[in-house]
Structure 1
Amino acid sequence: MTKSPLRSIFAPGSTRWAVRRAQWKALGLSDEDFEKPKIAIVNTSSELSSCFSHLDGITPVIKEAIRKAGGVPFEIRTAAPSDFITAAGKGARYILPSRDLVANDIEVAVEGALLDGMICLASCDKTAPGQLMAAARINIPSLFVICGYQGHGVYKDHEVDIEEVFESVGKLASGGMSLEDLTGMCDVSVSGPGVCSGMGTANSMHMVCEALGMCLPGNAPVRANSQSMFEYARRAGERIVGMVHEDLKPRDIMTPAAFENAVALMLAASTSINCVRHLQAIADEAGLADVDLYEIVNRLGKEVPLLVAIRPNGTDRVEALEAGGGARGLLKRLQPLLHTEAHTATGGTLKDDLEAYSLPTGSIIRPLDAPLSRQAALVVMRGSLAPLGALLKLGTGSANKLHFKGPARVFHTQDDAITALGDGRLQEGDVAVLRYLGPKGGPGLAYASWFVAALEGSPLSEKVAVVTDGQLSGLNRGIACGQIAPEAAEGGPLALIENGDTIEIDVGQRSITLLVEEAELARRREELKPWVPNSERGWLSIYQRLAKPIYKGSTLTPE
Structure 2
Amino acid sequence: KHADGKMSDEELYEIECEACPSGGSCSGMFTANSMNTLCEAMGVALPGNGTVLAMTPERIEMVKTAARRIVEMVMDENSAKWNMRNILNDKAVHNAFVVDMAMGGSSNTVLHMLSIAKEAGVDFDITQINTISENVAHIAKISPSLSTVHMDDINRAGGVNAVMKEVSRRGGILHTDAMTVTGETIGERIKDAVIKDPNIIHTNENAYSPVGGLSILFGNLAEEGAVVKTAGIAPSMRQFKGKAVCFNSQQEAIAGIVGHKVKAGDVVVIRYEGPKGGPGMQEMLAPTALIMGMGLGESVALITDGRFSGATRGASIGHVSPEAAEGGMIALIEDGDEIELDVDKHLLQLNVGYDVLEQRRLHFKPITKEIPSKWLKRYSLLVSNASNGAALKTEL
Note the alpha carbon deviations across 1:387-415, whole angstroms, 9 max, x for none.
11001111164779621111111111223
- TM-superposed deviation, 1:533: 4.4
- TM-superposed deviation, 1:235: 1.0
- Per the alignment, residue 231 of structure 2 pairs with 395
Structure having the higher Rg: 1
Stretch moving more, 409-418 or 338-347: 409-418
Change (3 A) 1:511 1:399: farther
- Per the alignment, residue 157 of structure 2 pairs with 324
* Secondary structure of 2:370 counterpart: coil
- Of 224, 233, 237, 2:67 maps to 237
- Of 193, 202, 213, 2:32 maps to 202
- Of 261, 286, 292, 2:120 maps to 286
- TM-superposed deviation, 1:484: 0.3
**2: CA distance, partners of 1:423 / 1:400:** 26
**1: CA distance, partners of 2:249 / 2:233:** 28
- Of 185, 194, 211, 1:358 maps to 194
- Per the alignment, residue 177 of structure 1 pairs with 7
**2: CA distance, partners of 1:302 / 1:400:** 21
* Secondary structure of 2:231 counterpart: coil
- Structure 1: unaligned runs, 5 residues or longer: 1-170
Q: Partner amino acid for 2:383?
A: A
Q: Partner amino acid for 2:132?
A: L
CA contact (8 A) 1:375 1:399 kept: no
**1: CA distance, partners of 2:84 / 2:12:** 44
- Of 87, 98, 103, 1:269 maps to 103
Q: Partner amino acid for 1:286?
A: A
- Per the alignment, residue 554 of structure 1 pairs with 390
**2: CA distance, partners of 1:464 / 1:396:** 14
Note the alpha carbon deviations across 1:58-77, whole angstroms, 9 max, x for none.
xxxxxxxxxxxxxxxxxxxx
Does 1:383 find its partner at 2:219?
yes
**1: CA distance, partners of 2:247 / 2:34:** 29
Calculate the aligned-residue CA RMSD, in Å. 1.8
* Superposition map of 1:72-151 within 5 A: none
- TM-superposed deviation, 1:229: 1.0
**1: CA distance, partners of 2:257 / 2:234:** 26
- Of 163, 166, 169, 1:333 maps to 166
- Per the alignment, residue 135 of structure 2 pairs with 303
- Structure 2: unaligned runs, 5 residues or longer: none
Note the alpha carbon deviations across 1:445-482, whole angstroms, 9 max, x for none.
13433101111121212211111011211110101111
CA contact (8 A) 2:95 2:175 kept: yes
CA contact (8 A) 1:325 1:363 kept: no
* Superposition map of 1:448-527 within 5 A: 448-527=284-363
**1: CA distance, partners of 2:306 / 2:327:** 15
TM-score normalized with structure 2 length = 0.93
Q: Partner amino acid for 1:239?
A: R
**1: CA distance, partners of 2:366 / 2:187:** 54
Note the alpha carbon deviations across 1:110-136, whole angstroms, 9 max, x for none.
xxxxxxxxxxxxxxxxxxxxxxxxxxx
Does 1:225 find its partner at 2:225?
no
CA contact (8 A) 1:301 1:378 kept: yes
CA contact (8 A) 1:218 1:325 kept: no
- Per the alignment, residue 434 of structure 1 pairs with 270
**2: CA distance, partners of 1:221 / 1:467:** 31
CA contact (8 A) 2:158 2:193 kept: no
- Per the alignment, residue 86 of structure 2 pairs with 252
Q: Partner amino acid for 1:315?
A: T
**2: CA distance, partners of 1:175 / 1:460:** 15
Stretch moving more, 360-369 or 404-413: 360-369
**2: CA distance, partners of 1:539 / 1:181:** 43
